[in-house]
Amino acid sequence: MPRSILLGTNPRRTLVRAAVLVLASVVLFGWVLLPLRAQGISMQPTYEPGGLHLVNRLAYVFREPARGDIVAIRLAGRRVVYVKRIVGVPGERIRFAAGRVYADGRPLDEPYVRHRRVSWELPETTLGADEYFVVGDNRGMAIEDHDLGKTRRGRIVGKILF
């Protein structure tokens, strides 16, 4: 009786299903989705500290990252990443003035930014052919407390799913 409870009426089928499930999980969470826990407040209010999120590592296989995408950026190793929003794409000129982001001289519409410090100032920088400009959504913090700036395409691990 205990064997039938654990393995069902067809133990072979149950073991095959379990093996397929384990293999699918290893592939899914080993190569496709990267789970991460948000730390810090630079992405508030979009993401709260301590929240669990998934990074789709295949999101940019057939398309390039776009402005507004929230991405994981590799720092060191496979699992040490920053979570930031792309505000500048290759070839653009990006600057911060009075707390606003300007791309090629035009202010960006950023409805996800709730609090903005007018003291955010950054001189114009031109992005290279494989560079993106990334920054957190919490612009109420001092600019010195943020990690922001250029990142190469090769450092972008994938797009945050939720």
Which CATH number covers residue 97? 2.10.109.10
Domain of residue 154: give its range. 32-160
CA dihedral 44, 47, 48, 49 (to 10 degrees): -100
Q: Do the Cβ atoms of 52 and 35 come closer than 8 Å?
A: yes
Q: Do the Cβ atoms of 133 and 150 come closer than 8 Å?
A: yes
pLDDT in tens, 24-63: 778 777 777 888 887 888 888 888 888 888 899 889 999 9
- Total count of domains within the chain: 1
Nearest to 84 by CA among 20, 6, 5, 157: 157
Query: Has residue 79 got a pLDDT over 70?
Result: no
pLDDT for residue 35: 81
For residue 136, is it within any domain?
yes
For residue 108, is it within any domain?
yes
| Banded model confidence at residue 110, pLDDT cuts 50, 70, 90 | very high
For residue 99, is it within any domain?
yes
Least confident piece of the model among 3-12, 13-22, 127-136? 3-12
The whole-chain average pLDDT of the chain stands at 87
| Banded model confidence at residue 130, pLDDT cuts 50, 70, 90 | very high
CA dihedral 22, 23, 29, 30 (to 10 degrees): 130
| Banded model confidence at residue 64, pLDDT cuts 50, 70, 90 | very high
Sign of the alpha-carbon dihedral angle for 31, 37, 40, 43: positive
For residue 2, is it within any domain?
no
For residue 122, is it within any domain?
yes
Query: Has residue 7 got a pLDDT over 70?
Result: no
Q: Give the whole-number percent of the chain exceeding pLDDT 70.
A: 93
For residue 22, is it within any domain?
no
Average pLDDT score over residue span 152-162: 91
Average pLDDT score over residue span 123-137: 96
List of residues 6+ apart from 62 with CB closer than 8 A: none
For residue 111, is it within any domain?
yes
